[in-house]
C-alpha cells in the first residue's frame, strides 16, 4: 500500500521494511504484512498518505525531447527528465514507462505508485501510440507480418494497429500502437523487417494524446475528463478533479530547445487503438 504514496520502487520499499523503517498502527512492519484502508502507516515516524481512494493523486503530462534520459541520476552527466519537473507535494514523481534517449514525445508521471503499476503492468494492456518515420516503403507482406506477430529475442511481438500517415520520397510516416512496454519494442519490430527507423515519437498513452501546444521540455497537470480517461485505462475508479490540478504548459529551463517538431504529415491520431 505504501507504494501508492510514490515514495520509491517496490524493491526500495521492501528494503525499508526489512530495515524496520515502516510501521503499521504503531507496530514495526514485516515483509508480507498487509495494511487495510484506514490503517496508520508511518515511514521513519512520518505519517504516509497512501491515497487509497485516489482522490489526491496527481499526474503530469510531459513532452520529452530527444537527448534527455529517463533516469533519476545519469553517471554521464546527461540531462534527465526529472530535472525538468516541478517538486511534488510529497514523495516523488514516478515515470510511467520510459523512452530511450533517441525517442521523444509523451511521458506521464504520477505520485501514485499504484497507478503507475497499473498503467505499466502487462495485464492492463494499456495502449501506447507512436508516430514512426521509416526509410523506405514496406510491402503489404511486411505490414501483415508486423500486425500478426514477429518473433523477437524476448518473444513474439506485434503492432495492434498500423496506420499510413503519409510522407515524401523515401521517408514515410506510420502511426502504430502496442499494448506492452517492452524495451525498444517499436524499433525492434521494424528492424526485424530490415527497415530503418529514422524518428520515433510517442503521441499517445492510455487514451491520452500529446497535444500540439505542449512543446518539448514542457509539462502540464492532468485533470477532469483526461484524468478520468487515464484512470479508466488503468482499471481504476475515477478521481474527482482538483481545483489546483490544472496548470499551463511550463516554459523549458534556460538553454532548452523551445522548437516544436510535428511527428509527420498527420499528427492527429484519428485511428486510435482498438
* Residues identified as active-site: 100
> Using CA atoms, how far apart are residues 166 and 54, in angstroms rounded to an integer?
41
From residue 265, give the alpha-carbon distance in Å to each of 70, 128, 140, 185, 216.
28, 20, 21, 23, 18
Neighbours of 194 (CB within 10 A): 9
Dihedral angle, C-alpha 69, 72, 73, 79, nearest 10 °: 40
Neighbours of 94 (CB within 10 A): 23
Cell 534517449 -> residue: 101
Per the DSSP assignment, residues forming a β-bridge with 219 are 62
> Using CA atoms, how far apart are residues 57 and 6, in angstroms rounded to an integer?
10
Residue among 105, 96, 98 at smallest CA distance from 129? 105
Amino acid at each position: 500500500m505504501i507504494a501508492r504514496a510514490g515514495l520509491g520502487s517496490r524493491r526500495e520499499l521492501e528494503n525499508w521494511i526489512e530495515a524496520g523503517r515502516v510501521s503499521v498502527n504503531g507496530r514495526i512492519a514485516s515483509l508480507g504484512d498487509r495494511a487495510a484502508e484506514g490503517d496508520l502507516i508511518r515511514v521513519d515516524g512520518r505519517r504516509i498518505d497512501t491515497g487509497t481512494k485516489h482522490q489526491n493523486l496527481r499526474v503530469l503530462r510531459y513532452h520529452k525531447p530527444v537527448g534527455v534520459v529517463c533516469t533519476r541520476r545519469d553517471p554521464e552527466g546527461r540531462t534527465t527528465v526529472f530535472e525538468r519537473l516541478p517538486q511534488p507535494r510529497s514523495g516523488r514523481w514516478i515515470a510511467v514507462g520510459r523512452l530511450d534517449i533517441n525517442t521523444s514525445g509523451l511521458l506521464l508521471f504520477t505520485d501514485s505508485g499504484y497507478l503507475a503499476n497499473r498503467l505499466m503492468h502487462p495485464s492492463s494492456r494499456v495502449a501506447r501510440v507512436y508516430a514512426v518515420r521509416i526509410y523506405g516503403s514496406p510491402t503489404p507482406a511486411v505490414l501483415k507480418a508486423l500486425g500478426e506477430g514477429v518473433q523477437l529475442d524476448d518473444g513474439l511481438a506485434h503492432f495492434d494497429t498500423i496506420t499510413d500517415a503519409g510522407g515524401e520520397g523515401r521517408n514515410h510516416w506510420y502511426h502504430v500502437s502496442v499494448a506492452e512496454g517492452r524495451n525498444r519494442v517499436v524499433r525492434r519490430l521494424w528492424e526485424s523487417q530490415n527497415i530503418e527507423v529514422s524518428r520515433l515519437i510517442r503521441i499517445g498513452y492510455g487514451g491520452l494524446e500529446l497535444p500540439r501546444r505542449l512543446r518539448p521540455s514542457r509539462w502540464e497537470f492532468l485533470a477532469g475528463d483526461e484524468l478520468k480517461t487515464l484512470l479508466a485505462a488503468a482499471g481504476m475508479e475515477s478521481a474527482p478533479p482538483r481545483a489546483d490540478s490544472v496548470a499551463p504548459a511550463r516554459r523549458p529551463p534556460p538553454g532548452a530547445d523551445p522548437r516544436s517538431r510535428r511527428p509527420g504529415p498527420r499528427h492527429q491520431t484519428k485511428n486510435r487503438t482498438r
